[in-house]
């Protein structure tokens, strides 16, 4: 009974997001609320209108799936039901109804004809002896499937499951898979969808047969561990009379306009009825495809058809292409897209990296961010540089063959003339011995970083275009709000004035030059045989991330040469601890695979009160000033806050400033166990305190 209740809840949860109208996620999310010609262009392409009526949308072609051998992949009865009434058998499908006014036997005759068409290839997989539906459930909800498909009820990894109102755009639903197919056939499809759907709207996401079998078992609610117990596809006997009837019906319905079929049933281009008597009519005449369009869909198509030959800019075409492929379900671009609040919990990875460790990167300016060869390989499913993300980059096949070039055109700018780089200076800057300490957080080839394991910088020269790198390093948070990456060149001014006389452009060019040369590694990787790993701030502050007892996994430590030190909690966006004397021993942080929660190396540790519960706060990263002092940035109930600490003899000096919402002062708390002195100041939106140990 419990199992039946769960299935009922799951079906109700999914059904709430399956309108009878065709679902094109990019349209529903970005155009349905304000129909436009751009939205109509997207629909004209994705609903297959262009396949019948011609034209050039500028978007990747969307053809129907391979249907030769369809009766080997789907049960014949289900195929007949789907052909007879597509949006009832598979709500949200872009397949129109083609048999209005026909008898029920006509759909079965079409299935008979399809059964005579030889498939291009046999099934790759054989029935598996091992199917783990429980593992399939975890994979389905973590590798990226729920970016396009509705998460199932009872599957949210969040402490508070998402409400229906949290889903801000419709997902692609499933037909009754148990009526349609079996475990082996579904797994074969999941392993390589492009074999049957080369247009790429269902991309290739899996590379493991075990993964495909387990997800298939989960989607089919398969109760056994032996895949051989899954019922097979029932064979279909054919009747010559029905085959002949089905062939005539396929030709009459013009199925070959969207599907690859023999020349005997070819479909010639058809004149477009823009005013009446066509597919856009609320009640199309018999013989015309029925799409059951919504009002916004119909309006958008009419707006597009008013000027179908208008050629959009590369930028608009690139955005529509990304919407057609539903890339926006995972990626943000130019301030829009990315997972909505309901789906964010399903994006998992390394929480220590903040949002960067959970969500796929933005696609803003990606055409001038990545080198063309590198971008081409990314689109082909290669060059994975973020192994900490559980969400996988799918392979879209022929649908992205021109996307790299299109993005380069859309994002092109006049190149900035950067100076030549100095490899020796770049090596120093990347390191910790007088540099800016990139290897504190970033890997370098086989060398793990000294702290959190952010992406590898050794391939920087092969991966990134130098002009984009310059812009990014000046203000990382502008590109990706919430990043833990600080700015070492805030406002274009180098925080490290010791290397190349603090010349910003030369420093960044040198970092790029050294990474591209692949000649050695940055300075400062510790030699494990020395046995001494205590961090000693001498001339400049030291910033080190770690797991800290009493603070948690998001602790950012700052050691000051004056001898008083700080631990900031990036999770709650407030200072957490301070102490005197020795700073920190980094041995376990750097070398332990399962690093324990550490403690300060010094004495007289004092604590701030536990994080406030309201108003909500959000950490926005930190930047370093010219002296290497970090300035922590956060947002507290819409108020932008900057918190700066510096070491002074026997204490710390804290300057906190804020802007926004009529300069409403955020909550300010102080540690216990120290003397707190406030400096007199008339500046609005700023307060300064001194903390001294007694």
Ramachandran category for residue 403: left, alpha or beta (phi over 0 → left; psi -120 to 50 → alpha)? alpha
The fold for domain 423-517 equals Cytochrome Bc1 Complex; Chain D, domain 2 (1.10.760)
Residues 112-138: what's their mean pLDDT? Answer: 87
pLDDT at position 682 is 64
Residues 471-490: what's their mean pLDDT? Answer: 90
3-state secondary structure of 578: strand
Task: Report the helix count and the strand count for the chain, using DSSP H and E.
Answer: 24, 15
Q: How confident is the model at residue 593 (pLDDT cuts 50, 70, 90)?
A: low
Torsion angle defined by CA atoms of residues 446, 450, 455 and 459, in that order, rounded to the nearest 10 degrees: -50
3-state secondary structure of 336: strand
Burial class of 576 by CB neighbour count within 10 A (0 to 12, 13 to 18, 19+): buried
Q: How confident is the model at residue 553 (pLDDT cuts 50, 70, 90)?
A: confident
Cα dist from 463 to 366, 378, 426, 440, whole Å? 11, 10, 17, 21
| Interatomic CA distance for residues 659 and 677, integer angstroms | 23
219 pLDDT above the threshold of 90 = yes
| Interatomic CA distance for residues 583 and 481, integer angstroms | 30
pLDDT at position 7 is 35
- C-alpha torsion sign, points 361, 557, 487, 443: negative
169 pLDDT above the threshold of 70 = yes
Q: What number of residues does the chain have?
A: 694
| Interatomic CA distance for residues 70 and 118, integer angstroms | 9
| Interatomic CA distance for residues 610 and 596, integer angstroms | 21
Residues 17-44: what's their mean pLDDT? Answer: 89
4 pLDDT above the threshold of 50 = no
pLDDT at position 595 is 67
- C-alpha torsion sign, points 14, 19, 22, 24: negative
- Residue 643's DSSP bridge partners are 632, 656
Closest C-alpha among 544, 539, 536 to residue 570? 544
Residues 429-439: what's their mean pLDDT? Answer: 91
Give the rounded percent of residues in the chain with a pLDDT score beyond 90: 61
- Asked whether 340 and 171 are in contact (CB, 8 A), the reply is no
pLDDT at position 571 is 86
pLDDT at position 17 is 38
Residues 566-582: what's their mean pLDDT? Answer: 92
Helical residues (DSSP H) of 169-258, grouped into ranges? 177-180, 183-191, 209-219, 240-252
- Residue 333's DSSP bridge partners are 336
Residues 163-183: what's their mean pLDDT? Answer: 89
pLDDT at position 149 is 92
Helical residues (DSSP H) of 344-464, grouped into ranges? 366-369, 372-379, 403-411, 423-430, 460-463
Burial class of 264 by CB neighbour count within 10 A (0 to 12, 13 to 18, 19+): exposed
Please give the model's pTM, rounded to 2 decimal places.
0.78
Q: Which residue has the tokens 């001339």?
A: 539
- Asked whether 410 and 317 are in contact (CB, 8 A), the reply is yes
- Asked whether 370 and 464 are in contact (CB, 8 A), the reply is yes
Domain boundaries along the sequence of the chain: 423-517, 534-693
| Interatomic CA distance for residues 137 and 156, integer angstroms | 11
Q: How confident is the model at residue 532 (pLDDT cuts 50, 70, 90)?
A: low
* Residues 6+ away with beta carbon under 8 Å from 321: 58, 59, 60, 403, 406
592 pLDDT above the threshold of 80 = no
**Main-chain dihedrals φ then ψ at residue 604, nearest 5 degrees:** 55, 50
pLDDT at position 274 is 62
For 124, which DSSP code? S
pLDDT at position 412 is 94
11 pLDDT above the threshold of 80 = no
User: Which of 19 and 272 is assigned the larger pLDDT?
Assistant: 272
3-state secondary structure of 103: coil
- Residue 481's DSSP bridge partners are none
Q: How confident is the model at residue 310 (pLDDT cuts 50, 70, 90)?
A: confident
pLDDT at position 67 is 92
User: Which of 458 and 275 is assigned the larger pLDDT?
Assistant: 458
| Interatomic CA distance for residues 456 and 464, integer angstroms | 12
- Taking only the tens place, the pLDDT of each residue in 371-428 is 999 999 999 989 999 999 999 999 999 999 999 999 999 999 998 888 999 999 999 9
- Taking only the tens place, the pLDDT of each residue in 631-680 is 999 888 778 899 999 999 999 999 999 887 656 788 889 999 999 999 88
pLDDT at position 416 is 87
Residues 317-331: what's their mean pLDDT? Answer: 96
- Taking only the tens place, the pLDDT of each residue in 94-103 is 999 998 778 7
Residues 73-85: what's their mean pLDDT? Answer: 94
pLDDT at position 502 is 94
- ∠ CA 514-621-349, nearest 5°, is 80
Mean pLDDT for the chain overall: 88
| Interatomic CA distance for residues 10 and 7, integer angstroms | 5
pLDDT at position 273 is 66
pLDDT at position 662 is 58
- Asked whether 631 and 644 are in contact (CB, 8 A), the reply is yes
Residues 54-77: what's their mean pLDDT? Answer: 94
- Asked whether 544 and 584 are in contact (CB, 8 A), the reply is yes
| Interatomic CA distance for residues 187 and 197, integer angstroms | 15
336 pLDDT above the threshold of 50 = yes
* Residues 6+ away with beta carbon under 8 Å from 476: 483, 485, 486, 487, 621
pLDDT at position 85 is 92
Cα dist from 130 to 186, 214, 693, whole Å? 15, 8, 64
Closest C-alpha among 348, 320, 351 to residue 336? 320
Ramachandran category for residue 636: left, alpha or beta (phi over 0 → left; psi -120 to 50 → alpha)? beta
| Interatomic CA distance for residues 301 and 280, integer angstroms | 8
352 pLDDT above the threshold of 70 = yes
613 pLDDT above the threshold of 60 = no
pLDDT at position 612 is 54
Cα dist from 668 to 457, 590, 655, 656, 665, whole Å? 38, 33, 11, 9, 8
Residues 489-509: what's their mean pLDDT? Answer: 93
562 pLDDT above the threshold of 90 = yes
Torsion angle defined by CA atoms of residues 598, 600, 603 and 608, in that order, rounded to the nearest 10 degrees: -100
pLDDT at position 9 is 34
């Amino acid at each position: 009974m419990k199992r039946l209740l769960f299935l009922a809840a799951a079906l109700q949860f999914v059904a709430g997001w399956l309108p009878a109208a065709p679902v094109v996620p990019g349209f529903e999310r970005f155009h349905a609320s304000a129909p436009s010609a751009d939205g109509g262009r997207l629909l004209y392409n994705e609903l297959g209108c262009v396949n019948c009526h011609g034209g050039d949308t500028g978007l990747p072609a969307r053809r129907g799936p391979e249907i030769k051998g369809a009766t080997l992949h789907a049960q014949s009865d289900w195929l007949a039901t789907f052909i007879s009434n597509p949006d009832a058998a598979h709500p949200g499908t872009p397949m129109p109804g083609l048999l209005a006014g026909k008898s029920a036997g006509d759909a079965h005759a079409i299935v008979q004809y399809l059964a005579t068409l030889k498939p291009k290839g046999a099934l790759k997989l054989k029935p598996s002896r091992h199917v783990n539906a429980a593992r399939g459930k975890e994979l389905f909800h973590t590798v990226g499937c729920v970016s396009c498909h509705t998460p199932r009820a009872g599957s949210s990894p969040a402490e508070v499951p998402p409400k229906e109102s949290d889903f801000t755009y419709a997902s692609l639903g499933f037909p009754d898979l148990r009526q349609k197919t079996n475990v082996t056939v579904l797994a074969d499809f999941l392993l390589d969808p492009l074999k049957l759907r080369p247009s790429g709207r269902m991309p290739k996401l899996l590379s493991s047969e075990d993964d495909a079998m387990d997800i298939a078992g989960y989607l089919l609610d398969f109760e056994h561990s032996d895949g051989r117990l899954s019922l097979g596809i029932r064979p279909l006997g054919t009747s010559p009379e029905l085959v002949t009837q089905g062939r005539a019906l396929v030709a009459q319905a013009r199925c070959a306009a969207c599907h690859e079929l023999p020349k005997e049933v070819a479909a010639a281009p058809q004149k477009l009825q823009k005013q009446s008597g066509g597919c856009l009519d609320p009640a199309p005449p018999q013989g015309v495809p029925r799409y059951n369009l919504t009002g916004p869909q119909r309006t958008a198509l009419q707006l597009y058809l008013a000027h179908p030959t208008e050629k959009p800019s590369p930028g608009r075409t690139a955005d529509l292409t990304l919407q057609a492929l539903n890339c926006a379900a995972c990626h943000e671009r130019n301030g829009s897209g990315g997972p909505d609040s309901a789906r964010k919990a399903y994006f998992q990875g390394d929480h220590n990296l903040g949002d960067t460790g959970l969500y796929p990167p933005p696609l803003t300016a990606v055409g001038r961010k990545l080198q063309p060869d590198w971008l081409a390989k990314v689109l082909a499913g290669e060059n994975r540089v973020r192994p900490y993300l559980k969400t996988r980059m799918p392979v879209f096949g022929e649908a992205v063959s021109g996307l790299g070039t299109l993005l380069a055109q859309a994002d092109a700018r006049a190149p900035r003339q950067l100076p030549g780089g100095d490899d020796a200076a770049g090596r120093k800057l990347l390191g910790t011995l007088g540099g800016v300490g990139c290897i504190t957080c970033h890997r370098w080839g086989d060398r793990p970083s000294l702290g959190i394991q952010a992406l590898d910088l050794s391939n920087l020269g092969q991966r990134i275009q130098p002009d984009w790198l310059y812009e990014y390093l000046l203000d990382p948070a502008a590109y990706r709000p919430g990043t833990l990456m600080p700015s070492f060149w805030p406002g274009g001014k180098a925080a490290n004035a010791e290397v190349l006389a603090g010349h910003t452009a030369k420093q960044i060019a040198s970092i790029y030059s050294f990474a591209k040369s692949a000649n050695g590694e940055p300075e400062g990787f510790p030699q494990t045989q020395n046995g001494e790993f205590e961090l000693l701030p001498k001339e400049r502050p030291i910033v080190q991330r770690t797991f800290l007892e009493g603070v948690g996994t998001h602790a950012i430590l700052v050691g000051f040469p004056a001898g008083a030190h700080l631990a900031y909690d990036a999770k709650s966006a407030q200072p957490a601890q301070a102490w005197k004397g020795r700073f920190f021993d980094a041995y376990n942080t750097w070398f332990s695979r399962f690093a324990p929660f550490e403690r300060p190396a010094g004495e007289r540790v004092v604590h701030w009160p536990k994080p406030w519960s309201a108003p909500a706060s959000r950490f926005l990263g930190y930047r370093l000033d010219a002296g290497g002092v970090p300035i922590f940035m956060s947002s507290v109930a819409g108020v932008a806050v900057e918190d700066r600490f510096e070491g002074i003899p026997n204490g710390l000096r804290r300057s906190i400033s804020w802007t926004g919402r009529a300069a409403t002062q955020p909550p300010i708390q102080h540690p216990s166990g120290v003397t707190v002195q406030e400096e007199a100041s008339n500046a609005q939106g700023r307060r300064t305190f001194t903390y001294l140990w007694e």
